[in-house]
Every structure is written in structure tokens, then in C-alpha cells.
Amino acid sequence: MNSVPIAENTDAPRVTGAVTAADPRAEAAGEAMLARGGSATDAAIAVMLALTVVEPQSSGIGGGGFIVRGTADGAVTSFDGRETAPAGADPQWFIGEDGELRDYRTTVRSGLSVGVPGNIAVAAKAHAAHGKLAWAELFQPAIALARDGFTMNVRLNESLSTRFDRAGLTEFGRDLYYNADETPKAVGTTLKNPAIAGMLEAVANTGPEAFYASPSAIQMADMVKAATPRSGGMTPADVAGYVAKEREAVCGTYRGYRICGMGPPSSGAVAVTQILGQLERFDLTALGADNPVTWHLFLESQRLAYADREIYLADSDFVDVPVKQLINTEYLAQRSALIRADAALESVSPGTPRGVTQAFADGDEPPENGTSHLAVIDSAGTMISYTSTIEGAFGSGLIHHGFYLNNELTDFSRSPEKDGKPVANRIEAGKRPRSSMAPTIIYDPDGKPVAAIGAAGGTTIPVQTARSIIGIIDFGLSAEDALGLPLIMAFGSRVLVEEGTWLEARKAEFEALGHGQIVARKPPLKAGAIVWNGAGWDSARDPRLKGKLEYTK
């Protein structure tokens, strides 16, 4: 079945680079590295560091991330900087002395939620393998933003206004971001964060050991442990022992395009590959982007992929994750055969790929939230897709040296077992929680680099990413138009449609197809993409951010 080509074929060399990020100041940091002759890896690290300063609600060095890298000749690898549970953690981590699950909100705002941060370690590992500029040079834009000050924009102001309980949990957070009456400082205010500047300078000059094996690292571990209402809290040894890992990327195909992403502990690439693979037998181009049937099929494929996700996906260092079986074309064809164009499935269950046993139960992970995605393509055609996170907005609320520490451990299942079966994504010592992050790179049918894409928004990330890929490949949309496609997502028997879009006005048609309760909301969406347009790289951030990045209100 033919798809719409991304761009007309051209023999013109792909010699210019591009950067996309959720904040233009971070984007500029990456562009500066490319202008100095840096690699895509150099630029991506500079962007991540700058986001720590200007987008504190979403990501940064207090969290972790995944990096997918692909060269012009098709070599793909990935780097795992996901946070880890402390050595003292056990499957009863979220259960109180009374035998009941601890209150979720209280858990988040405590040391129970904080994993050992991985972003500095994964940046150092990627830079050692693929960096061109000096390590210290990558830190300079972020240091300048923190030391000299950056301007409060609408988006940060709005985020602060609804999350005082986390952003203002500490005295440092209240002093930096809030007025005495607990309202956020005004849009346009210059914010200076010398504490972050000092930490970044130390890591720039000394290397990652300034973060992981230093008096500062001991202070971080001690602070987290003191905020942990049980034994087994974070120790300096947990911090010093953190290891970022190079992983095998997960690659599949869709209409001749090669699509690669991050494997376990992320569920992103498996989910995206399954969603697309199960849809390949349908002519989405002929159906069109504004046809409810198109998105009904998309919903059904989501439901099948997420059913598998809940049972099989977790940290592959602890669980035997059958990645190859889950994305096997024969298995995807079997799952696709369950999808009908004229009616929704009455129920959805996980599949059983050949040779695989369902040894685990479905857990009870809370919703994922804040994250940031960035992408870079350099003059050599090397693509970097990097998703970075501290989990919820402002993470745990705990602040160390001016940056927020993650609440990533709440991505584990709160219950360790169900009906006598262990949950694959239960917490264990040193384990990395399952993630929805889906940094993705794409090669066209001729093997040329054609796109780097990803998203933020918790469990919506694989859906956003797959939706945008469909927009690019099936509908021939520009990067921004693909990112701007409305979101529709299944949550069990409920269906979320993006409020204010044409999907909301046609809820009755989805109901007629057999979908349950249709709920219209504005979900947390923030995708980014760089796409080859035939003459150059088309860089875009989610159009929903328009107006949110301004400095006046």
C-alpha cells in the first residue's frame, strides 16, 4: 500500500543541521554548538543542560533521559540514562507500616519517589563516544542563563500557578519562583539561579564525578534519605554507583520506512512499532486525516499495544522482555486481524507471541506527567532524538543545588503483585522504572535520514509519536502540521479526544463505532520533530506551545 512521500526525492547533499526544543533559549544553545562545529550529540547535551535552567518544571540534571542516535549510513544506537531505585528499595517500597499503600501525593513529595538521576551520566557516556567539542564547552549556555538570569515566560508562570505544593515545597523554590503571597513571580521577571550555575560549573570543570562522587553527591543522598519515611533510602553509594548504559535500539518498519527508538526500560519504541505495524494493512492515506474511521483504527491499535505494554514491558536487566517477539511481523499481523474498521473491540487482552509465557500481572502505575523532548540533526546527517524527564511537573519538589529532583520511582507499579503473580514493573533495588518516553529516528525507504521525533506527556507519548509519524508518512504533512494533529487516546473503556478539535464535534461517530465514554479534555501535549522537506531540515515544536513561550502576558 503506497504512502505519501515525505518529500520529493533529491540528490542534493543534506549538509545543514537543525535543532528543536520546547524552549527557544535551549534551542539556541544547541544551535551554538552546531555553529562551533559540534556534533549532534554535543548540541543535544547543551540543549538538555539549558532546559534544566529555563524549563525546571519538565526535565533537567535532576532526572534522566533516553538518547537515540542514528548516523547517515544507518547505524543506530541508544543510551539509557533512566533513574535507578536505591539499593535499599524492595517490592514493599510504597506500602506503609499498616500494610496499605501510602498516599500517592505524599509519596511523590518525599524521598520515596526520587531515583538516582541519570542525565549527567548518560550525557557523559554519549559525549565520550560521539562528542567533538570539549565537555566544558557544552555547559556554557546553561551556565550563562543561570548566572546572568533568564526571563519568566507564560508557560512557566502558568505551571507554577497550579503546582505550589511541589514547586514551592522548599524554601529555595518559594524564594526563586514565588512572591510572598504564594503567587508566581510575574511573566517577564528575570530569574537568576546561581546555585545551578555553580553545580554546572563544577561538572563542566571536573566531569560527572562532581555530580556523582563529591560532597555535593553526599548532600543529595542525605537529603533524599532524610525525606524517606522508611528504611532503605538513598545513600552516597547509590549515587556513586550509577551507570548509564548503551542499549540496542528497537527498529521496525512502516510502509518501507525504518523507524528506530528506545528499548526497555522504555516501552516507547515497542508501543510505537506495534501501533504502526498493526495499522499497516489499512490504507490510511485513502481514508484521510479528517476521517473518524482513521482514528478509530488508531484507537484500536493503541489498545492492543498498551495491553501488551502492561504485561511485558519493564527493565530488561530484571525482566526477560520479549522485544523481538512483540514486534515480530507475524505477531503484529495476528493482532491487526483483530481490528475491524466498522466496530470497536468489545474487550482487549494482551497477546501471547510465539514462545512467550504471560508470567506477570498488570500493575497499578500512577499517570506519568512532565517531560521534555529535543532533537538535533547535524551537518553529517547524524540524528539525535533525546527525551529527558523529572517525571511530574517539578518532580518531587525537592531541590538540590538549585535544580528539582525527579519523582521517577512513582513510575513503578505501586503494588508488587496481583492475583499471586508478580508485576513486571514492580520496584526492586537498582531497577529502572518503565517509561513511556519514545525518542524516535526515521530513515526513508532509500535508507536516508528523514526525521527525528518524540514527545512529552506521560503515557500519551507513544500515541503522540505514532500519530505524528502517521501524519508525516501517510498524510505528507509538514513537521508542525503533523505535531498539531489532534490527539485521541484510549484509557481502558474510555476515550479521550482533544478538547476544541474536530474530534470533539464528532464524538457521536466514535460512539456509533462502539467506543465507550468519550471525554473531551486538553491533554498535556508537547511534541517536537525535525523532518527532511526535500531541500533542508524542517524543525518544529508543538504548535500548542504558541503563546506560552512569550515573556509578556
Task: Let me know: does 47 contact 21? Beta carbons within 8 Å.
Answer: yes
Domain assignment present for residue 195? The answer is yes
Strand ranges for 382-464 from DSSP E: 383-389, 399-400, 403-404, 417-418, 421-422, 440-443, 449-456
pLDDT of residue 68: 98
Q: How many CB atoms lie within 10 A of CB 106?
A: 12
Query: What cell numbers appear for 41 in the block?
Result: 550529540
Residue type, 410: T
Domain assignment present for residue 334? The answer is no
Q: In terms of Cα–Cα distance, which of 20, 472, 477, 541 is closest to 272?
A: 472
Q: How far is it, in rounded angstroms, from Cα 325 to Cα 360?
A: 16
Sign of CA dihedral 141, 145, 151, 153: positive
Task: Let me know: does 486 contact 497? Beta carbons within 8 Å.
Answer: yes
Task: Let me know: does 447 contact 258? Beta carbons within 8 Å.
Answer: yes
Q: How many CA atoms lie within 13 A of 332 on its CB side?
A: 25
Query: What cell numbers appear for 40 in the block?
Result: 549532534
Domain assignment present for residue 522? The answer is no
Q: How far is it, in rounded angstroms, from Cα 197 to Cα 284?
A: 49
pLDDT of residue 359: 52
pLDDT of residue 369: 59
Q: Where would I find the H helices in 337-488?
A: 461-473, 479-483
Buried b (16+ CB within 10 A) or exposed e, 66-78: bbbbbbbeeebbb
Domain, as residue range, for 110? 26-87+105-243+397-411
Domain assignment present for residue 373? The answer is no
Domain assignment present for residue 197? The answer is yes
pLDDT of residue 6: 52
Task: Let me know: does 167 contact 407? Beta carbons within 8 Å.
Answer: no
- Measure the CA dihedral 48/52/53/58, to 10°: 110
Q: In terms of Cα–Cα distance, which of 162, 122, 106 is closest to 410?
A: 106
Residues found in the chain: 553
Give the number of domains in the chain: 1
Residues with pLDDT less than 70, the chain: 1-15, 357-370, 552-553
Domain assignment present for residue 151? The answer is yes
Domain assignment present for residue 148? The answer is yes
Domain assignment present for residue 70? The answer is yes
Q: How far is it, in rounded angstroms, from Cα 296 to Cα 341?
A: 7
Query: What cell numbers appear for 371 in the block?
Result: 517531560
Q: Is 552 a catalytic residue?
A: no
pLDDT of residue 216: 97
User: Among the options 84, 273, 371, 465, which is catalytic?
Assistant: 371
pLDDT of residue 11: 46
